Amino acid sequence: MKERVEQALAKVRPALQADGGDVELVDIGADGVVKVRLKGACGGCPMSQLTLKMGIERILKKEVPEVTAVESV
């Protein structure tokens, strides 16, 4: 599952990097909760929670159905 999550994050990464940010996979829980760290400009951006839920989480759930949620750590 980790490999599929990394592949899905690779699809999101170019858009984040275009704005000076990035995303790093931290952990995947047994319950399907993916923990990520937003880096660079994304780390302090006021829109980061929207990016996390409407962007990253949506794509991860679509690509990897076992993902139940995405949290920022």
Structural domains of the chain, with CATH: 2-72 (3.30.300.130)
Confidence of residue 6 (pLDDT cuts 50, 70, 90): very high
Question: Which pLDDT score, from 0 to 100, does residue 45 have?
Answer: 83
Residue 26 amino acid letter? V
Residues in Cβ contact with 56 at an 8 Å cutoff, skipping those fewer than 6 apart? 9, 12, 23, 36, 70
Confidence of residue 7 (pLDDT cuts 50, 70, 90): very high
Question: How does pLDDT run across 25-56, given as a tens digit for each residue?
Answer: 999 999 999 999 999 988 888 888 888 888 89
